[in-house]
């Protein structure tokens, strides 16, 4: 008789097993989701980094192209009649900076406060932001395609409306930052650029023919014109508007963002180039001026051949004047020559120490002050010899009979027994009388820093708030002749 094996009863999953399996499944699913999220985040971060790097590269390429075409040698006092244009570099000062003992020139590490003993004190700021108030402006020649710009029809053909596109081989170019907003506690700026066409051929009898006298006299009208016209212009004493030439632009009062109504009309105000406090970029075509946004630093530095490179107290690092601790306890000077901020040796009391070419305040005969009684503003300017033959007594001096002594720097007479200051770095033999006809001390004015500029460095730093990434690019330009 055959025996049948008893059927084995199958047992179902217990509740614990089901919950364990579900938990494991959820964990696996969460892991997959997290993996995809990480991959997506990495892709997004990578894309953001690529976009930011590309934007910085494009900005640096445009800046390099503009610098390559600068029309004037980077040394003071070109002849105004030589029609060379200008270079003007501003280490602007924000005198409303609330930080105690702050020089106000920079908002971060690029400017170090020097104490009254001559040593650099610890920086008062510690953030990722850089210098936010520097401004550069110059005349340049396009080495490839001509500069193009929009000009109102009324300027060129007396039409009532519309615009005409013009081109020029030369332009007056200005770069500056304009505040946009604050994200994650970090102020973000836009780097802007204006390229104003240099077209003196538009003038008829020395002025633009279709702009009535006095129409541009008011600040608002002047800024409205600049916002609607990519044309380098200046206001004549009779109220007419003139399209500038390179020769005109060597004289400061004719340049963009300068007040032509007063002497010395030198100051380009902090952060936004303006005329009488009115922003330049609030016009109809402001978006066309944008070079790059989300900027947290635009730092301009000049090469100072006498700036000291020092070894820190540990002996492990070198320090230049813009590094924290430079000038304090150190192991000696390693060498000379570094890129520095103009007027970097300002002490906590607002005075300057003269330790190298560009460490001190601008020359007092440049009248480079923020207002009649304001502090000095560090500016490099190629200047012009026009002021030494313009028939104006800029320095206000008189002779023994109380008669004004005018243009004594070019009158062919040895007007004074001039002795340079003993601590000067401007003159080759400080403390020794020059005793020469029309020597440098007889001049009524002086370039702010009367030294040739060998090189300039510009650092553009940007912040991507979407992934908290910071990128920067450095553009270095050599001014030394080949």
User: pLDDT truncated to tens, each residue of the chain (482 aa)?
Assistant: 566 666 666 666 777 878 888 888 889 888 888 888 888 777 777 777 788 889 999 999 999 999 999 999 999 988 877 899 999 998 865 443 333 223 333 333 344 444 333 344 444 444 577 788 888 999 999 999 999 999 988 888 777 788 899 999 999 999 988 888 889 888 899 999 999 999 999 999 999 888 877 666 566 677 788 888 999 998 888 888 899 999 999 998 899 888 776 665 445 544 445 555 555 656 566 677 899 999 999 999 999 999 888 887 777 778 888 776 666 555 678 889 999 999 888 654 555 667 889 988 888 888 876 655 556 778 999 998 888 888 887 777 777 778 777 877 666 666 665 666 655 666 666 656 666 666 667 778 889 999 999 999 999 999 998 888 899 999 999 999 86
Q: Does residue 229 sit within a domain?
A: yes
Q: Which residues contact 297 (CB under 8 A, 6 or more apart)?
A: 108, 110, 129, 130, 131, 132, 459, 460, 461, 472
- pLDDT at residue 298, rounded to an integer: 93
Q: Does residue 70 sit within a domain?
A: yes
Burial (CB count <10 Å: 0-12, 13-18, 19+), residue 138:
buried
Do 374 and 441 belong to one domain? no
- pLDDT at residue 233, rounded to an integer: 92
Do 402 and 254 belong to one domain? no
Query: Strand pairing partners for 318?
Result: 311
In whole angstroms, what is the distance from residue 139 CA to residue 2 CA?
113
Neighbours of 260 (CB within 10 A): 17
Q: Does residue 308 sit within a domain?
A: no
Do 265 and 144 belong to one domain? yes
Do 140 and 274 belong to one domain? yes
Do 411 and 468 belong to one domain? no
In whole angstroms, what is the distance from residue 164 CA to residue 178 CA?
28
- Exposure string over 358-369, b if 16+ CB within 10 A, otherwise e: bbbbbbebbbbb
Count of domains observed in the chain: 2
Do 86 and 148 belong to one domain? yes
Do 135 and 277 belong to one domain? yes
Do 74 and 150 belong to one domain? yes
- pLDDT at residue 102, rounded to an integer: 31
Query: What separation in angstroms does the CA of 331 have from each of 114, 254, 327?
Result: 18, 49, 10
Q: Does residue 260 sit within a domain?
A: yes
Q: Does residue 319 sit within a domain?
A: no
Q: Does residue 359 sit within a domain?
A: no
Q: Which of 354, 351, 355 is nearest to 376 (CA)?
A: 351
- pLDDT at residue 277, rounded to an integer: 52
Do 238 and 379 belong to one domain? yes
Do 157 and 231 belong to one domain? yes
In whole angstroms, what is the distance from residue 162 CA to residue 155 CA?
10
- pLDDT at residue 117, rounded to an integer: 38
Q: Could you list the residue range(s) of the whole structural domain that residue 168 is in?
A: 47-97+130-298+369-383+452-478
In whole angstroms, what is the distance from residue 351 CA to residue 375 CA?
9
In whole angstroms, what is the distance from residue 84 CA to residue 99 CA?
41
In whole angstroms, what is the distance from residue 433 CA to residue 426 CA?
14
Q: Are 311 and 332 in contact (CB under 8 A)?
A: yes
Q: Does residue 32 sit within a domain?
A: no
- pLDDT at residue 350, rounded to an integer: 54
Do 60 and 198 belong to one domain? yes
Preceding peptide of 32 cis, ω within 30°: no
- pLDDT at residue 106, rounded to an integer: 38
> Taking the model in full, what pTM does it have?
0.81
Q: Does residue 212 sit within a domain?
A: yes
Do 183 and 202 belong to one domain? yes
């Amino acid at each position: 008789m055959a025996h049948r094996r008893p059927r084995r009863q199958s047992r179902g999953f217990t509740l614990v097993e089901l919950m364990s399996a579900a938990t494991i499944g959820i964990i696996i699913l969460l892991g997959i989701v997290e993996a995809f999220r990480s991959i997506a985040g990495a892709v997004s971060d990578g894309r953001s980094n690529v976009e930011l790097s590309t934007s910085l590269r494009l900005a640096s390429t445009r800046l390099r192209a503009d610098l390559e075409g600068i029309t004037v040698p980077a040394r003071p006092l070109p002849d105004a009649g030589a029609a060379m244009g200008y270079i003007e570099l501003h280490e602007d000062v924000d005198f409303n900076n609330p930080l105690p003992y702050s020089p106000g020139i920079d908002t971060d590490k690029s400017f170090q406060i020097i104490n009254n003993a001559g040593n650099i004190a610890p920086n008062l700021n510690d953030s990722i932001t850089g210098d936010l108030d520097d401004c550069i402006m110059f005349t340049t020649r396009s080495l490839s395609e001509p500069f193009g710009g929009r000009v109102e029809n009324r300027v060129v053909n007396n039409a009532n409306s519309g615009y005409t596109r013009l081109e020029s081989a030369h332009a007056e170019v200005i770069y500056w930052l304009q505040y946009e907003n604050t994200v994650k506690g970090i102020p973000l700026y836009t780097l802007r650029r204006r390229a104003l066409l240099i077209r003196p051929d538009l003038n008829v009898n020395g002025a633009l023919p279709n702009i009535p006298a006095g129409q541009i006299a008011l600040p608002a009208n002047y800024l409205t014109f600049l916002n609607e016209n990519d044309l380098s212009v200046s206001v004549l004493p009779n109220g007419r508007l003139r399209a500038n030439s390179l020769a005109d632009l060597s004289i400061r009062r004719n340049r963009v963002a300068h007040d032509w109504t007063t002497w010395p009309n030198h100051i380009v105000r902090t952060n936004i180039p303006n005329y009488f406090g009115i922003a330049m970029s609030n016009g109809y075509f402001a978006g066309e001026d944008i070079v790059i946004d989300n900027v947290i630093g635009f730092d301009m530095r000049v090469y100072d051949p006498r700036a000291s490179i020092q070894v820190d107290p540990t002996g492990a690092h070198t320090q230049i004047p813009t590094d924290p601790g430079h000038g304090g306890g150190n192991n000696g000077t390693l060498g000379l020559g570094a890129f520095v901020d103009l007027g970097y040796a300002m002490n906590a009391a607002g005075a300057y120490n003269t330790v190298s070419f560009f460490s001190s305040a601008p020359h007092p005969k440049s009248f480079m002050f923020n207002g009649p009684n304001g502090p000095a503003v560090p500016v490099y300017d190629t200047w012009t010899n026009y002021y030494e033959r313009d028939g104006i007594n800029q320095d206000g001096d008189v002779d023994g009979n109380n008669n004004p002594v005018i243009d004594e720097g070019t009158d062919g007479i040895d007007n004074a027994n001039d002795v340079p200051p003993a601590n000067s770095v401007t003159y080759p033999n400080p403390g020794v009388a020059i005793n020469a006809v029309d020597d440098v001390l007889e001049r009524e004015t002086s370039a702010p820093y009367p030294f040739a500029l060998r090189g300039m460095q510009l650092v553009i730093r940007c912040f991507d708030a979407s992934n908290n990434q910071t990128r920067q690019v450095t553009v270095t330009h050599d001014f030394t002749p080949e």
